[in-house]
Amino acid sequence: QGEAEYLRGAIFGSLSWAVLAATLMAIVGSAGIYYLDGLFENYFVIPIYLAAVFLPMLALQEVQDGIARAHNWAGIALAPTFILRPLLILAVMAGAILLGFPATAVTAMISAIVAVYVASILQFAVLARNLRKAVPSGPRKFLPAKWLAITMPIFLIEGFYNLLTNVDILFVSHYMRPEKVAVYFAAAKTLALVHFVYFAVKAAAAHRFSAYRTSGDHRRYEQFIQETVHWTFWPSLVLAVLMLVVGKYFLMLFGPAFVEEGVPIIWILTLGIIVRSSVGAAESVLTMSGEQKACAIVYAATLMFNLILNWQLIPVYGLNGAAMATTGALFFEAFALYAAARRRLSLHIFILPMRSGKPQARPAE
């Protein structure tokens, strides 16, 4: 309130920094792949180069998503990523095939690049139009040191989280051939619908945690947190049970080998997903309540735990070992997030209520 110049600076600075930093990382990463020729298998090199082209627009889209959600513009935040982009990928890929291009992974990735750039630019145009109405024009002011101190832990959280969600794939890729990676990837992504519940709740609720806390309405703050836990857990449980029943039919689309090896993976991963959903969007509660450093430590520890489990279990148990490592990490993550919220905010963030006879904890002032 009353600091519109800093708001304008934050919006402009975050968008500019995201694109510039992502472009720099893409250039450095591509140069590293080029000069370290031979370190990676040939079938990884082209996808890595193409992935580097994605980075600037993906970074832009992430920041635009956050700005839109902060203003309660859910359509602008989510539609480009989850509706427009997939439809554009399908349309561009279909057009490429009709024009005679081969239906290969390279063609698919180039189609995705086109879709990402178009969706991001359109989102930018719509967001800019809305911001002109919502944010008064005027000079910009910046507080780079203060903003960096706040956002660096959040950057680490997102970085650790993204590594955490992909480390099993990376280890399977290292230890096994591509056909085994395909089985694991198909089984893991079969559960994407279950993961979507958590993402949807997080996207809708994250900024409200901060709003309720800063309003001083601690009762509503605690109540809303518990509501989001229930919104996350029960739909996730229902969808998880559903996927245990129908998951094998999705895997049948890829062949018998996928069913034989993929079904056990689905069962193992489902257990971890259910346990993780029992604490809802606890990491968002920590981050939006000023405890982003504690949350970053949780995810750093979880990532390290996951790395150790994958390193130890995959050579012994193969694909099931990767699933066990991921599930073990999800157990650890849920416990660590609960413990951090309990210690730092005096909050009970869990699907089961506290034992009778103990009063509900109040958040720290």
Low-confidence ranges of the chain (pLDDT < 70): 1-2, 356-365
**In the chain, where the domains are located:** 1-142, 149-365
Q: Are 243 and 269 in contact (CB under 8 A)?
A: no
Question: Do residues 347 and 341 lie in contact, with contact meaning Cβ atoms separated by under 8 Å?
Answer: yes
Which helix (H) or strand (E) is 9 found in, with range?
helix 4-35
- Tokens read off for 51: 């992935």
Q: C-alpha angle with apex 101: 100 to 103, nearest 5 degrees?
A: 115
The predicted pLDDT at position 199 comes to 87
Based on the number of CB atoms within 10 Å of its own CB, is 37 exposed (0-12), middle (13-18) or buried (19 or more)?
Answer: exposed
**Which pLDDT score, from 0 to 100, does residue 350 have?**
96
Closest listed residue to residue 299, CA positions, set 153, 92, 143, 114:
153
Q: State the Cα–Cα distance between residues 97 and 91, nearest whole angstrom.
A: 10
Can you give the pLDDT at residue 363? 44
- For residue range 164-215, list pLDDT tens digits in order: 889 999 999 989 988 899 999 999 989 988 988 998 899 888 888 988 888 8
pLDDT score of 2: 62
- Cβ atoms of 77 and 69 closer than 8 Å: yes
What is the pTM for the complete model shown?
Answer: 0.82
Tell me what pLDDT residue 356 has. Answer: 56
Amino acid at residue number 312: Q
pLDDT at 365: 42
pLDDT of res. 1: 55
Q: Are 266 and 243 in contact (CB under 8 A)?
A: yes
The predicted pLDDT at position 48 comes to: 85
Angle at 51 between CA 330 and CA 60, to 5 degrees: 80
Q: Are 270 and 191 in contact (CB under 8 A)?
A: yes
Q: Would you state the pLDDT for residue 36?
A: 83
The DSSP symbol for 42 reads: H
What distance lies between CA 158 and its chain's CA centroid? 7
Helices (H), 84-177: 85-98, 105-134, 144-175
Please give the Cα distance from 230 to 351 (Å, whole number): 6
What's the token pair of residue 175? 């230890």
User: Nearest 5°: phi and psi at 354?
Assistant: -65, 155
pLDDT for 14 equals 94
Number of H helices, E strands in the chain: 13, 0
What are 22-45's pLDDT values in tens digits? 999 999 999 998 888 777 777 778
Q: Which of 270, 352, 359, 268 is nearest to 314 (CA)?
A: 268
